[in-house]
A and B are shown apart, each in its own frame.
Chain A
Amino acid sequence: MAELKTKIKQNTQEQSVEKSPIIQEEKEVVFQSKNFNLWYGDNHALQDINLTFHENDINAIIGPSGCGKSTFVKSLNRMTELVPIVRTEGDIDFRGDDIFKSGMSVEELRTRVGMVFQKPNPFPKSIYDNVAYGPRVHGIKKKAVLDQIVEKSLRSASIWDEVKDRLTDNAYGLSGGQQQRICIARALAVEPEVILMDEPTSALDPISTTKIEDLMQELKKDYSIIIVTHNMQQAARVSDRTSFFYQGYVVESDDTNVIFENPSDKRTEDYVSGRFG
């Protein structure tokens, strides 16, 4: 616990160095949910969610199992629609536009809002074809351009050096941590504006986890990141803002250091200090 506190302190200091209040105010809103509700059949899985996410922030979403974290994150790029029994109410705005309005193309939304899943899910194709997948789907055919995108994305996902000599190998031949970074590279290849990550490191060893956390710090310069995590240290280490979900509600959403050091709700305090969940 003491260790966690020091870490958070360091984190806070870094943050105060990094961003002055003025920059904070200029940050543009990326996602805003307004009284968002979601049902799986009769199961009211998300209830009146009001949350705002800003550009260049890492937003952590924490909460006990089954509280609706994944459901919420998947709502942001409308992946929840793939479940036939899902019904929603309320709005989610992406850069000011309601993602559920009829004119909104779900393909465009999912291109601009990338996703990395809990379990690495590369395609059973070569490493190259995995990363080139998105650009190809979206009409980029020139080999030279694709080569460039693949290299850039793999570099951004800090896995280029490990795979540059075997780009034609099947991605399934890689380790779990490498596969997950391939999946991140794949998501980056279409240059999304937001990256959703649903427990991206839960299947990984500590070293791969550290790599991905470092990577997130790099990525936040260009992207907004929303990450679901069960790992309190991880939330405290990497995120700027944290939202605590509990039984389908948002109990509290604030700067990460506030959530971890000075939460206003007893349940948040209990949860982040490991007393339940």
Chain B
Amino acid sequence: MSNKNIRDQIINNTRNKSNIFERMIPVILLLITSVSILATIGILVTLLSESFEFFSRVPITEFLTSATWQPYVGDGEWGIWALIMGTLKIVAIAVIFAVPIGLGAAIYLSEYASDRVRRIIKPILEVLAGIPTVVYGFFAINFVNPILQGIYSGFGLYNAVSAGIVVGIMIIPMIASLSEDAMSSVPTAMREGSLGMGATRLETAIRVVIPAAFSGIVASFVLAISRAIGETMIVSIAAGSMPNASFDVTEPLQTMTGFIVQITSGDAAFGTDLYYSLFAVGMMLFIMTLLMNVIASWFTKRFKEEY
């Protein structure tokens, strides 16, 4: 008797459940999701329209082909290559420095370290990732640069190498931590397969684990490089503010982000060429990051080992 009552009750409850609410759920979730998409679209539209204004004043050919960026001289010379080269130098140095170390740390943590060591080191890495970049900037000027100057006296106070290395240090934890996650998720059975054939741990890491974790590792590089491209504080403090397209890494330079922060914190009057140039440079930054993501996703598709 009581059983029957419970059954009736359950059935009744099921019928009474508000269907409208259930149907609303996806709509609500969609709206929430749209917020971030709308924000992106908003930013893009602003960037695009203000860039158009800029290119109505400055020929796009000059922007894309000239290697001189001199906004203050006369009518100004607007060759983005000077800033792109600045960014590329910093990113290249950072990547050269951070990828081997980050990947090495990831291999150590996932393939060699005991659980105890891993449990101690991983949180430290994550703390490192949270240090404010302004601190890194001073670290570059006050610690890294004197060492560099000790090695080679040609280094100026502001140069690409000290800033690049410190940007590298900043992104190491990201590469190490995310790559380690990717490598740790490779099934143990695969490692056993390799070790069981007489391969060493290192051979196993390089030939089996890294290829199997490749997409995750590349994703960590992409995120890290995106951060390096977008990094502003370190380069503003330690790389100087002298746009130039040279390959000389001992000289000061200016990155795209460095330029944006210099102008926005200074006095770019609304409606001037200088003001609109900010958006064109911002657009360029956006395109660079996008391009890198596209390349990376092609790269992972091409080399990913699926299991």
Interface of B is mostly: helix
CB distance from A214 to the nearest CB of B (A): 24
Identify the interface centre among B198, B211, B305: most chain A CB within 10 Å of its CB.
B198
Q: Is the CB of A133 within 8 A of B189?
A: no
CB distance from B136 to the nearest CB of A (A): 37
Q: Is the CB of A190 within 8 A of B197?
A: yes
- How far does the alpha carbon of A79 sit from the alpha carbon of B207 in the complex, in Å? 19
Given contacts A137-B203, A137-B207, A172-B307, contact A123 B198 (CB under 8 A): no
- How far does the alpha carbon of A109 sit from the alpha carbon of B212 in the complex, in Å? 26
Within 8 Å of chain B (Cβ to Cβ): is A187?
A: yes
Q: Which residues of A contact B197 (CB under 8 A)?
A: 110-111, 114, 133-134, 137, 186-187, 190
CB distance from B68 to the nearest CB of A (A): 50
Within 8 Å of chain B (Cβ to Cβ): is A84?
A: yes
| Option from B114, B196, B207, B307 in Cβ contact (under 8 Å) with A110 | B196
Compute the total of residue contacts between A and B using a CB distance below 8 Å: 75
Q: Which residues of B contact A108 (CB under 8 A)?
A: 198
Within 8 Å of chain A (Cβ to Cβ): is B41?
A: no
Given contacts A84-B114, A110-B198, A134-B198, contact A121 B193 (CB under 8 A): yes
Return the CB mask of A122-157 against B: 1 if under 8 Å, else 0. 111100000001101110000000000000000000
Which residues of chain B (279-307) have a CB below 8 Å from chain A?
305-307
Q: Which residues of B contact A134 (CB under 8 A)?
A: 197-199
Return the CB mask of B168-191 against A: 1 if under 8 Å, else 0. 000000000000000000010110
Return the CB mask of B193-223 against A: 1 if under 8 Å, else 0. 1111111100100011001100000000000
What is the interface size of chain A, counting residues whose CB is below 8 A from a CB of the partner? 30
Return the CB mask of A103-116 against B: 1 if under 8 Å, else 0. 00001111110110
Within 8 Å of chain B (Cβ to Cβ): is A82?
A: yes
Given contacts A107-B199, A133-B197, A190-B197, contact A123 B192 (CB under 8 A): no
Q: Is the CB of A79 within 8 A of B190?
A: no
Q: Which residue of B lies closest to A120 (CB)?
A: B189
Q: Is the CB of A137 within 8 A of B199?
A: yes
Q: Is the CB of B211 within 8 A of A117?
A: no
Q: Is the CB of A124 within 8 A of B192?
A: no
Q: Which residues of B contact A79 (CB under 8 A)?
A: 192, 195-196
A residues neighboring B (CB under 8 Å): 77, 79, 82, 84, 107-112, 114-115, 117, 119, 121-125, 133-134, 136-138, 170, 172, 183, 186-187, 190
